[in-house]
DNA sequence: CTGAAAGCGCTTACAG
DNA sequence: CTGAAAGCGCTTACAG
């Protein structure tokens, strides 16, 4: 293995000088620096990461913690989040470590204690999440991807779900709709206190009430059969409804097909608006007017916030709500009134 | 920060002794060891990972490399692979690093050069994959998750797709079917030389020919609309077909719904067999007789193979084909002849 | 602008 | 069974 000492010997300088060249210190003359660089090139030198970590006590790595349930199962967008984070981190000079294991809280503590990571991102944060406390206790710079009621002084980044739902409700209102069916997540999602679902629904209901609109909520489980059943019943039962609002990543994919099955024409029979993770939408060509969750933008902000926190641990906590865009399609018709 | 020296001082021993206690050396008397452990506990000692790495030159980490396209987009099972690997690695004492970045080959080389990882797993390997050569050149212990034509001397682990397709064809044959429709992956998958698709199809065709069966292949794109169109046409065109064989993770989820739309009854009108990633199947309750891809078993074998390779770099290359199980459902009827 | 030297916190022959 | 000591490959005041 080629070390700094080897390069130093070959270039006729000390290893301190080589170190300064590697870190790009302006103190070294260009003449010396280029000679050193030439030798590095010639000898095929690469820095030894562990040695640098030991002497700087910066690991150059961040940890990512998904929820236990998620990492046990399939998720359409989890891998998009993970790789988005890894790419954004790489761009900022950090490696990304996957923190798996049944117990997220203890995985976090252990990684922090043994100084394997400089900071962490917690995914799928819920209200009262035990991992929040673990992060606080460990003293590790940590950003929550999600927006829980109580972030215990940690930074958080999430899409602005209250804004998102208000925008969709307002949009339907402007097009004359006054009576909506809401397709939400499975009941379980709300019970697990995933705050994006809760915030979205609350803001939606509040906004609708303020505008004098009616909303009927259904919560299909993750199966086509259940979606069909509940949707059919809702359509029959709520005869005055003219529009459907969807916040459920799985359902938004299947619902087109459900409409087809139930012989519902969009937008003739119902107007439809939705929330969709961007790449799902692109891949599947979901033809609904929708608020597009820009996962890339969200993860970039998340990593940026974490890096900022690592570099200045003592600043005030940030709560970042990333605004999202409305993508128009032909799924909403105007109701004259 | 508490160091070994602190513990040693408190326990009245040398730090060498503390080090031996941490690594569980049997040379230390139980009396001394327990005293040292008590002090570690009391002082809240945790080993400094970087220091250990530097002195042992073992990083205790493996890298995972997915394909560039995949990490840009959504995948239902990618996160299951990633977390499965991270958990299996954790169980064997390794951290897992996500190697992202547009160019997998150079990400691999750089991680190897700077000694950030002890080994790597390459996902979604295709024939002629440039990452294979990069891994070989870097000298990094590497296992391919996938079974390319030429693994260039690297270890590989994959489900045994030839066995899987033969089993399914044989099964249909035994039930009297002689004329099949095959729903494969999008054309692109074969063109990208993803060998699982290619191997499966070849073995299927070969087996069918050997048994005197006919196969009609369709390759739907990843959209419900395209699936419906092609399936409808196939059903009309191939009037003698009595069974459908599916190898396409996306289609297998949507096809139930397609049958419903096209008013096709299973197994009355068609018998159906499929290949499904296990958890997708469980989550979605896909009601087809199917070969179940046990992702957990596959990733465990993959990590095991990598760890073995790390520990004995010079053994002969292994090619591991993991056998899979047939799960029976009521989607196949017997054709009397 | 450059070098000598101490230090980061471990591990591991070696000596006793 | 235990300790003194060298070594892993960097970084970084400090002196010049």
pLDDT tens digits, one per residue of A289-304:
999 999 999 999 999 9
Neighbours of A230 (CB within 10 A): 18
Query: Is the C-beta of residue A13 closer than 7 Å to nucleic acid chain D?
Result: no
- Averaged over A187-204, what is the pLDDT? 93
Determine the residue of chain B that is closest to A262 in CA distance: B261
Instruction: Collect all residues with Cβ–Cβ distance below 8 Å to B161 and sequence separation of at least 6.
Output: B147, B196, B199, B200, B203
pLDDT of res. A78: 85
DSSP assignments along B114-174, one per residue: TT--SEEEE-S-BTT-HHHHHHHHHT--EEEES--S--TT-EEEEE-HHHHHHHHHHHHHH
Q: How does residue A232 score in pLDDT terms, banded at 50, 70 and 90?
A: very high
Q: How does residue B69 score in pLDDT terms, banded at 50, 70 and 90?
A: low
- Averaged over B80-105, what is the pLDDT? 91
CA-closest candidate to residue A169, choices A111, A210, A122 = A210
Q: Is residue A184 within 8 Å of A197, Cβ to Cβ?
A: yes
Measured over the CA atoms of residue B102, residue B104, residue B109 and residue B115, the dihedral's sign is positive
Q: What are the angstrom distances between the C-alpha of A112 and each of A62, B27, B46?
A: 10, 30, 10
Span CA (A115) to C1' (D12), Å: 21
**Whole-number Å distance between alpha carbons of A152 and A146:** 13
Q: How does residue B289 score in pLDDT terms, banded at 50, 70 and 90?
A: very high
Residue linked to tokens 């080389």: B109
Q: How does residue B74 score in pLDDT terms, banded at 50, 70 and 90?
A: low
Of A48, A98, A283, the CB nearest to B222: A283
| Residue B27 DSSP class | T
Task: Please determine, for residue B1, whether its predicted confidence score (pLDDT) is greater than 90.
Answer: no
pLDDT of res. A268: 94
CA-closest candidate to residue B81, choices A201, A254, A75 = A75
Region of residue A57 (phi > 0: left; psi between -120 and 50: alpha; otherwise: beta): left
Residue linked to tokens 């009609």: B216
Task: Please determine, for residue B68, whether its predicted confidence score (pLDDT) is greater than 70.
Answer: no
pLDDT of res. B120: 97
Q: How does residue A93 score in pLDDT terms, banded at 50, 70 and 90?
A: very high
Instruction: Give chain B's count of helices (H) and strands (E).
Output: 15, 12
pLDDT in tens, A178-188: 999 999 999 99
pLDDT of res. B100: 87
Pull the structure tokens for residue A163: 């804004």
Read off φ and ψ for residue B262, nearest 5 degrees.
Answer: -85, 5
Would you call the peptide bond into B15 cis, given omega within 30 degrees of 0 as the criterion? Answer: no
pLDDT of res. A283: 52
- Averaged over B52-68, what is the pLDDT? 91
- Averaged over B271-277, what is the pLDDT? 94
Name the range with the highest mean pLDDT among B96-105, B237-246, B249-258: B237-246
Task: Please determine, for residue B253, whether its predicted confidence score (pLDDT) is greater than 90.
Answer: no
Chain A residues inside the 8 Å CB shell of B51: 54
Pull the structure tokens for residue B247: 């190898």
Q: What is the least distance, in Å, from the CA of A257 to any CA of chain B?
A: 8
Q: Is residue A247 within 8 Å of A146, Cβ to Cβ?
A: no
Chains A–B, number of C-beta pairs less than 8 Å apart: 153
**Whole-number Å distance between alpha carbons of A103 and A101:** 6
CA-closest candidate to residue A226, choices A187, A265, A266, A270 = A187
CA-closest candidate to residue B245, choices B192, B208, B191, B196 = B208
| Residue B194 DSSP class | B
**Whole-number Å distance between alpha carbons of A146 and A157:** 6
**Whole-number Å distance between alpha carbons of A180 and A182:** 6
Q: How does residue B222 score in pLDDT terms, banded at 50, 70 and 90?
A: confident
Instruction: Collect all residues with Cβ–Cβ distance below 8 Å to A43 and sequence separation of at least 6.
Output: A2, A6, A7, A10
> Whole-number mean pLDDT of chain A?
91
Point out which residues pair with A325 in neighbouring strands.
Answer: A292
Pick the residue of B95, B97, B227, B259 with the most A CBs within 10 A to test the interface with A by mutation.
B95
Task: Please determine, for residue A67, whether its predicted confidence score (pLDDT) is greater than 90.
Answer: no
Q: How does residue B140 score in pLDDT terms, banded at 50, 70 and 90?
A: very high
pLDDT in tens, B157-213: 999 999 999 999 999 999 999 999 999 999 999 998 899 999 999 999 999 999 999
- Averaged over A273-281, what is the pLDDT? 79
Please give the nucleotide, over all strands, whose C1' is closest to the CA of residue A25. Answer: C1
Residue whose CA is minimally distant from C5 C1':
A16
Least confident range from A233-237, B43-47, B61-65, B225-229: namely B225-229
SS3 A328: coil
Task: Please determine, for residue B286, whether its predicted confidence score (pLDDT) is greater than 80.
Answer: no
Instruction: Collect all residues with Cβ–Cβ distance below 8 Å to B209 and sequence separation of at least 6.
Output: none
Strands A289-293 and A325-327: antiparallel
Query: Is the C-beta of residue B31 closer than 7 Å to nucleic acid chain D?
Result: yes
pLDDT of res. B249: 84
**Percent of chain B at pLDDT exceeding 90:** 72
Task: Please determine, for residue B106, whether its predicted confidence score (pLDDT) is greater than 80.
Answer: yes
Pull the structure tokens for residue B195: 């060998």
Task: Show the CA angle centred on residue A50, arms to residues A48 and A55, nearest 5°.
Answer: 100
Task: Please determine, for residue A25, whether its predicted confidence score (pLDDT) is greater than 90.
Answer: no
């Amino acid at each position: 293995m080629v070390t700094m000492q080897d390069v130093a010997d070959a270039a006729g300088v000390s290893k301190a000088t080589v170190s300064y060249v590697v870190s790009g210190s302006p103190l070294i003359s260009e003449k010396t620096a280029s000679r050193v660089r030439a030798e590095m090139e010639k000898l095929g030198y690469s820095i030894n990461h562990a040695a640098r970590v030991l002497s700087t006590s910066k690991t150059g790595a961040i940890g990512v913690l998904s929820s236990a349930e998620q990492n046990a199962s399939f998720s359409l967008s989890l891998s998009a989040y993970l790789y988005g984070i890894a790419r954004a981190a790489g761009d900022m000079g950090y490696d990304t470590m996957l923190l798996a294991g049944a117990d997220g809280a203890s995985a976090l503590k252990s990684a922090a204690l043994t100084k394997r990571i400089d900071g962490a991102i917690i995914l799928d944060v819920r209200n009262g999440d035990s991992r929040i406390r673990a992060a606080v206790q460990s003293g590790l710079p940590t950003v929550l991807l999600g927006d829980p009621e109580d972030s215990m002084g940690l930074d958080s980044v999430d899409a602005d779900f209250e804004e998102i739902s208000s925008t969709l409700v307002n949009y339907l209102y402007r097009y004359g709709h006054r009576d909506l069916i809401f397709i939400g997540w499975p009941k379980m999602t709300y019970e697990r206190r995933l705050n994006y679902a809760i915030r979205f629904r609350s803001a939606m209901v509040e906004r609708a009430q303020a505008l004098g609109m009616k909303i009927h909520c259904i919560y299909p489980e993750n199966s086509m059969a259940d979606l069909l059943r509940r949707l059919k019943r809702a359509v029959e039962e709520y005869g005055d409804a003219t529009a459907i609002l969807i916040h459920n990543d799985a359902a938004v994919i299947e619902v087109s097909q459900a409409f087809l099955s139930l012989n519902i024409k969009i937008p003739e029979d119902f107007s439809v608006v939705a929330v969709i993770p961007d790449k799902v939408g692109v891949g599947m060509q979901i033809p609904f007017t929708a608020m597009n969750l820009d996962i890339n933008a969200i993860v970039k902000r998340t990593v940026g916030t974490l890096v900022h926190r690592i570099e200045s641990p003592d600043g005030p906590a940030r709560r970042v709500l990333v605004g999202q865009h409305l993508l128009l399609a032909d799924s909403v018709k105007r109701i004259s009134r």
